[in-house]
Amino acid sequence: MEKMSRVSTALGGGGGGAVSGRTMFCHLDAPANAISVCRDASQVVVAGRNIFKIYALEDDQFVEKLNLRVGRKPSLNFSCADVMWHQMEENLLATAATNGAVVTWNLGKPSRNKQDQLFTEHKRTVNKVCFHPSEVHMLLSGSQDGFMKCFDLRKKESVSTFSGQSESVRDVQFSMKEYFTFAASFENGNVQLWDIRRPDRYERMFTAHNGPVFCCDWHPDDRGWLATGGRDKMVKVWDMSTTRAKEIHCVQTIASVARVKWRPERKWHLATCSMMVDHNIYVWDVRRPFIPFATFEEHKDVTTGIAWRHQHDPYFLLSGSKDSTLYQHMFKDASRPVDKANPEGLCFGLFGDLAFAAKESLISSEANRKPYPGGDRRYPIFFFKKPDLTEQFAHVSSALSVFETGLESGRMDWFSRTARRYLLCGKPFAELCDHNAKVAKELNRPQVSTTWTMVRIMFSDPANPNLSAKLGTLPLMNSFSMKDMGACPDMGACPDMGACPAERGKEGRSDAAHLEPGTSHISNNDDNEETEGSDGQAEYMFGDAELDDDDLYSVEHDNPAEDQEYTLPQEAFPLRHEILDNPSAPEPLQQDKAESPHVSGGEAEATCLTPIESCSLISATQPLYSAHLPAGFFCPVVRDMLRYYAEQGDVQMAVSVLIVLGERIRKEIDDLTQEHWYTSYIDLLQRFELWNVSNEVIKLSTCGAISCLNQTSTTLHVNCSNCKRPMSNRGWVCDRCHQCASVCAVCHHVVKGLFVWCQGCSHGGHLEHMMHWLKSSPHCPAGCGHLCEYT
């Protein structure tokens, strides 16, 4: 005892300087099962099924000192599952054999065979041997057969047997501080505490793990802490000083824990290695259980044995592995996962809340500098971790902020409200656009609103001067600022839009460049001739546009008759006239404009343009371009715009514009895409239970696949009113009773159209006839005496 303390103080004073070395390894002949270090940290013994050797630890290499596996034919007693070097007596070793033998070895023996004693009391494999830390002759073994035996090395057989009640013992460890106590861990998940003097019954038992407990280790200081590791991949630290074992720390590893060893001189640290899968050795700080403090990654196969080189030196770790190597790891060479770990975490909640965790220093400075963009409310919550005292493990305090998004942004209210209020048909095109733009604006979606305005401007019929003058003056002005072609190149560089706007801008310009005025004129004429009864107007229009291209408004004023023309075909189709309109900005400009309120930071020049500036631009640029623009000029732009919206997830916008624009744009987009948009939008609408809107969309859709949706699931059964049988064919006469089925009760003619009938007596007839009749009499016109009611 004295000697030991002397050594330890010497070492402790040196602070690790007494033992020097580097990370090194040597090849063993066979896989190692266990290693153990001698007391003065100068030698290490390696034991395995086919190996049992002692190596000396020199400064930069391992030197094989002794092979204890001697004899021509090694007996099974050499097949070691565990080995322990006595910490008091430096010549004394004990091994546990897979055949159940416990063998002690005396290195002081002069002969080649150093085997000292052989105990063959266990019937099954002995998993663990353990010397008493301060008693020279006391050896404890734990075996697969469920028994622990205590041997006095001066006697030939065991002095006492402890029965773990038929569960296999995986580990036994004498307590560091309590002389008589030892802990045993079992395959059924239990840990037992025994008093060495009382072999009849354990002192205490508790269930530590779910599944086998493979290892346990007492804390080297006197706190009564016991660390256990099990197949459930946990390392748990128990406080045994209280009456009831209390779990105080728990570390979750990634594989079942085979060995656990407290790190000397470090109160909170322990080293673990795993049994399968994972080959690394981890050193954990139990207070920070989510990331290893240090990792040793040298081994190529499962690490089977770990030992700190000296019991007062935390910087040297020895390990043996199945890959037949023996390593000495230097702590300074360990990899620190915490350095590589990303200290920021970001996560979205179910309702759009955002949680962000980052290093405290980082977040505090950031919070002052930049508020949450667009966030009207901000509720940061701060959690501080306890600062770590050891300087090696970096200060780990981090802050978590939770940003709650406004209720509106998380919800889809805008969707259903927009869907309900949008007008898709029934009004002139320009009015529809303006209405929708207004709706979008009211719902605080400026981008969409502007898009509608743009669409109107691009495609609108110049015959609606009142409307455009009334509703759209300012937006018009804004958009005119965009149509400045000079701004286009700038837009390509706009950071928020990325590549798309650049493309669109390019396309628009190239179109303008390639199309000769003459050819476009002809093609547009052809188109217009196909449309019903508008040839003349279209030609006139076109010519007009060519003539009056310098004054947009005059063009619009010149066509008052157009108004009438457009209201007619609304139901069947949206407007079909492709009329050259005033040129306006390519779409992306609009989007940029619309988005700019959201985006803080530098923007392209386009946003800087004030209406006044742009007004001045109108006059400069408009005459140059508007004359040469054919009807289809904007179609690629609009098509890209629709695609953009659809990709952004706003399929509502895509479909609405598609419907409102109708023929103007339909040909630009292939049917499958359209169908896809339609189905998505209808699906969304139905999920929001907007049946009416969805029905309207179905009705207005020009896709065959969509418009037949309404027909597929609707079945109409017609029964004869006389014989109550189903009417088989389509005639008006029931083929069973040979009578006209739906005869008006008033005029006795067959009703071919709206048939209204009383639900009480099922008599009815023409709508007007019934209305008239019931105004004058409350009784049924058929004379059945029922008092019908018309509401």
Partner 1 sequence: MSIQYGEPDMAGSYGVADSFPKDFGYGGDEAGIDDDSSASADTQPRILLMGLRRSGKSSIQKVVFHKMSPNETLFLESTNKIHKDDLSGSSFVNFQIWDFPGQVDFFDPTFDDEMIFTGTGALIFVIDAQDDYVEALGRLHGTVSRAYRVNPHINFEVFIHKVDGLSDDHKMETQRDVYQRANDDLADVGLEKLHLSFYLTSIYDHSIFEAFSKVVQKLLPQLPTLENLLNIFISHSGIEKAFLFDMVSKIYIATDSSAVDMQSYELCCDMIDVVIDISCIYGPIEDGGAYDKESLAIIKLNNTTVLYLKEVTRFLAVVCVLREESFERKGLIDYNFHCFRKAVHEVFEVGCRTPRNGGRPDDSLTSSTSTTSSSSTTRALNHRNYASHNGSMM
Residues in contact with partner 1 by the rule CB under 8 A: 30, 49-50, 76, 79, 81, 98-100, 123-125, 127, 144-145, 165-167, 170, 187-189, 201, 206-207, 209-212, 214, 231-232, 256, 258, 275-277
Which residues, in sequence order, are bridge partners of residue 743?
750
| Residue with Cβ nearer partner 1 (72 or 514) | 72
| Residue with Cβ nearer partner 1 (203 or 333) | 203
The token pair that represents 692 in the structure block: 């009416």
CB of residue 239 to partner 1, shortest distance in Å = 16
CA 415 to chain centre: 25
Which residues, in sequence order, are bridge partners of residue 259?
273
The token pair that represents 705 in the structure block: 């696949």
| Residue with Cβ nearer partner 1 (49 or 137) | 49
CB of residue 645 to partner 1, shortest distance in Å = 45
| Residue with Cβ nearer partner 1 (48 or 501) | 48
| Residue with Cβ nearer partner 1 (98 or 596) | 98
Number of alpha carbons in the 13 Å side-chain half-sphere of residue 49: 8
CA proximity to 80, closest of 413, 248, 289, 304: 304
Strands 257-262 and 92-97: unpaired
Beta carbons of 541 and 462 less than 8 angstroms apart: yes
Instruction: Write the CB contacts of 119 (distance below 8 Å, at least 6 apart in sequence).
Output: 101, 102, 103, 141, 149, 151, 157, 158
Can you state the percent helix, strand and coil of the chain, rounding each to 5? 35, 25, 40
CB of residue 123 to partner 1, shortest distance in Å = 4
| Residue with Cβ nearer partner 1 (89 or 232) | 232
Residue 163 phi/psi, 5-degree rounding, is: -100, 120
CB of residue 259 to partner 1, shortest distance in Å = 11
CB of residue 98 to partner 1, shortest distance in Å = 5
The token pair that represents 55 in the structure block: 């190596």
| Residue with Cβ nearer partner 1 (232 or 551) | 232
| Residue with Cβ nearer partner 1 (185 or 416) | 185
CB of residue 157 to partner 1, shortest distance in Å = 17
What is 434-476 written as a DSSP string? HHHHHHHHHTT-HHHHHHHHHHHHHH--TT-HHHHHHHSHHHH
Q: How far is CA 228 from CA 137, 142, 239, 282, 287, in A?
A: 26, 16, 11, 15, 16
CB of residue 142 to partner 1, shortest distance in Å = 12
What does the DSSP 8-state code read for residue 633?
G
Beta carbons of 137 and 154 less than 8 angstroms apart: yes
| Residue with Cβ nearer partner 1 (304 or 398) | 304
CB of residue 71 to partner 1, shortest distance in Å = 13
Which residues, in sequence order, are bridge partners of residue 484?
none
CB of residue 300 to partner 1, shortest distance in Å = 11
Cβ neighbours of 390 (radius 10 Å): 12
| Residue with Cβ nearer partner 1 (127 or 479) | 127
| Residue with Cβ nearer partner 1 (30 or 756) | 30
| Residue with Cβ nearer partner 1 (301 or 442) | 301
Residue 325, burial from CB neighbour count under 10 angstroms (0-12, 13-18, 19+): buried
What is the Cα Rg of the chain in Å?
44
CB of residue 32 to partner 1, shortest distance in Å = 13
| Residue with Cβ nearer partner 1 (78 or 415) | 78
| Residue with Cβ nearer partner 1 (209 or 577) | 209
Residue 113, burial from CB neighbour count under 10 angstroms (0-12, 13-18, 19+): exposed
E runs forming strands in 70-208: 80-85, 92-97, 102-106, 115-119, 126-131, 138-143, 147-152, 158-163, 169-174, 181-186, 190-195, 204-207
CB of residue 216 to partner 1, shortest distance in Å = 14
The token pair that represents 359 in the structure block: 């290093």
CB of residue 282 to partner 1, shortest distance in Å = 18
The one-letter amino acid code at 717 reads H
CB of residue 108 to partner 1, shortest distance in Å = 30
CA 250 to chain centre: 27
